[in-house]
Amino acid sequence: MKLLTASRLIDGEVVWLAADNHWAEDIAHAEIARDEEAVERLEHAGREAAARNEVVDVNLIDVEFVDGAIRPIRLRERIRAAGPSIHPDLGKQARRGVLAPV
Amino acid sequence: MYRYDEFDHAFVKARVSEFRDQVERRLSGELTEDQFKPLRLMNGVYLQLHAYMLRIAIPYGTLSSRQMRMLAHIARTYDKGYGHFTTRQNLQFHWPALKDIPQILEDLATVEMHAIQTSGNCIRNVTADHFAGAAADEVADPRPYAEILRQWSSLHPEFSYLPRKFKIAVTGAERDRAAVQVHDIGLHLRKDASGRLGFTVYVGGGLGRTPMIGKKIRDFLPEEDLLSYTTAILRVYNLHGRRDNKYKARIKILVHETGTEELATQVEKEFEALKESELKLPAADIKAIDAYFAPPALPARPEGDAALKAATAANGGFADWLRRNLNTHKNPDYASVTISLKGIGEVPGDASADQMDAVADLAERYGFDEIRVSHEQNLILPHVARADLKAVFDRLVEIGLATSNAGLVTDIIACPGLDYCALANARSIPVAQEISIRFAQQARQEEVGDLKIKISGCINACGHHHVGHIGILGVEKKGAELYQVTLGGSGDENTSIGEIVGRGFGPDEIVDAVETIVETYLAHRQDKNEPFLAAYRRLGSAPFKEALYGREAKAA
């Protein structure tokens, strides 16, 4: 399972591509690609969004489901999805009850 | 301290306007990311895990109260209420929005600050001893030379596109507190037999994936030759440094591959051609820059000793702080104060906007308006009357910055690591926090004595782990964090690169491993006067390996 993630150009906010082709600030809203075709669609949408200067640093990441929630495989992406592990009061984790990064 | 002249003001202002225009063009889509990225990096703007990061230059770590207040203002207005002081004596904000950065730079320019050359393959912020101009053991203040180098290297047309970044450090006392031997160029100020000032010159030191100790290529370089000789080194590097491989592009690799003797010959040849050129520093110019760094007029305050005696008797915490956080000042009525940014369990190097404001107030009231940032990620008030130390301490207690741990096991350097940094493979800060909590007890820390732990979250070594007495390097192995330990590193006048002790430790093992190392030292030291580093140099790694790996070590 893969998601497409990026950083929003104007402020650097971490975002994920959601089903309706908008960039969600919450990983829970990301569109999950479960097959090659879906991955290609995400990548295409990512290239177009980068060309439109909405986002930068577009990357596909591997994820899994844990207790019904999306969890990136790599710690780096879990920290991006939550915020600094040392500052539960900052970043996305401060805004809502996201998964702890570790 | 140095004050901008009209040229400096106009130059920084023009640069801010230029960057404002570049950001506008990027946001409108006129510039692509590929076009914009090198431009933003030239202005200290990185993209990290959660947001952009802005790295602000603090030349040789020297700040006025006004400048510190501006950093606090920026933290509050545009960021998340705090900033991170770095191992290069700079400050990083970890959350600015790109759209706000031109305004941040405009605000900074009003207090004579900027973010130019805090990134890119150019000559970076020149660092210096954080006790410069105050330390009793100082031969001469290194900052005037650092300032001369700063002016010379700012937007230097020949050296703006070097093979790789280039870092220069200057220290002015026998005791090297600026780690000059692990810089691309390290300058150690000395006097020769006739009393002339000059430098011992080291070249090709560095940390990162290939740690190297700088090679001495000049015992004594007269001060007037500073720029001509530095230019000669940079020319040799610019011509012959490798551009085919980013990982082999630093001057340390050139020195290593060329050989010190041959490289020194090439430098001397360039230097011969430049020696009598316009780069030769006239005595009047050195004097003019020196004047900016004239020490403040320090009134006699002989009542200090009596005041301290009374205060220490009444307050044990104050006595601890005096013992650990002072450095001997040239003037016996004064001291240099280390304000520890390493509170127990806190993030090394972080300061809140309120703390920055409070330190600015203290510097203004008690410290002749001077603040320093140390490469060990602490703040320094270089000139405080001993009679005022209690008042300073009391205020530091109120703002949570009175930890009495300078130079102790909890005074840990740590890079931002995987909590922020896009290059990191593992987290550094939580490891520092857990070690700090483990050794929190003051008596235990002092029993252990001087011990420098330095932690990096990747091979780039921003946390200087190679020169930690105990160095910790975070790596990613099979998707998990793993911490490699090095022992015996040191970044002073007897620089050494730490040796890897054995297999790495998981996040839940690393603090125990550090404790085992510390306990092994305590068990094996000759007496309390033999610090960790001296004991390691005497004992070698065997007892530490044995303690960490037991039978496994014996089998190997």
A85: nearest CB among B33, B99, B419 = B419
- Asked if B383 and B430 sit in the same domain, the reply is no
pLDDT of residue B556: 53
* Cβ neighbours of A78 in B, within 8 Å: none
* Domain hosting residue B356, numbered range: 304-398
| Angle between helix B260-274 and helix B251-258 axes, rounded to 10 deg | 110
| pLDDT, tens digit (0-9, with 9 covering 90-100), for B398-453 | 999 999 999 999 999 999 999 999 999 999 999 999 999 999 999 999 999 999 99
Residues B100, B200, single domain; the answer is no
Task: Tell whether B544 and B507 lie within a shared domain.
Answer: yes
Q: Count of CB atoms within 10 A of residue B410's CB? A: 30
The tokens of B89 are what? Answer: 């004596």
Last residue of a domain, one of B58, B84, B109: B109
Encode burial over A41-76: b for 16+ CB neighbours within 10 A, e otherwise: bbbebbeebbeebbbbebeebebeeeeeebebeebb
pLDDT, one tens digit per residue, over B506-516 is: 999 999 999 99
Look-up: residue for tokens 């900027």? B114
- Which residues of A fall within a CB distance of 8 Å from B479? 73-75
Q: Domain for residue B126, yes or no?
A: no
Domain boundaries, chain A: 2-92
Strand (E) or helix (H) holding B150: helix B143-153
CA distance B236 to B271: 10
The residues in A 34-73 lying below 8 A from B, measured between CB atoms, are 50, 52-53, 56-57, 73
Same domain, B13 and B75: yes
Question: What is the torsional sign of CA B398, B399, B405, B406?
Answer: negative
Q: ipTM of the predicted structure?
A: 0.95
**pLDDT of A95:** 84
In a domain, B127, yes or no: no
Residue B329 sits in the same domain as residue B387? yes
Predicted TM-score (pTM) of the model is: 0.96
Domain boundary among B52, B85, B109: B109
Please state at what angle helix B353-366 crosses helix B389-398, rounded to 10 degrees.
170
* DSSP 8-state secondary structure symbol assigned to residue B126: P
Among B292, B326, B347, residue at a domain's last position? B292
Q: pLDDT digits over B146-160, tens only?
A: 999 999 999 999 999
Instruction: Report pLDDT for B555.
Output: 56
Measured between alpha carbons, how far is residue B27 from residues A8, A11, A54, B31 in Å?
Answer: 11, 10, 9, 8
Q: What is the pLDDT of residue B316?
A: 83
In a domain, B189, yes or no: yes
Q: Which amino acid is at B315?
A: N
Strand residue runs (E) in B86-206 = 91-93, 127-128, 168-171, 185-191, 197-203
Provide the CATH number for the domain around residue B51. 3.90.480.20
The CA-CA-CA angle for residues B306, B307, B308, to 5°, reads 90
Q: Tell me the backbone φ, ψ of residue B482, rounded to 5 degrees.
A: -140, 140
User: What's the CA gap between B187 and B167, in Å, rounded?
Assistant: 11
Q: How many domains does chain B have?
A: 4
> What's the gap in Å between the CA of A101 and the closest CA on chain B?
10
In a domain, B124, yes or no: no
| Chain B stretch 477-536, residues whose beta carbon is closer than 8 A to a beta carbon of chain A | 479-481
Do B287 and B308 belong together in one domain? Answer: no
B chain contacts of residue A80, beta-carbon cutoff 8 Å: 49-50
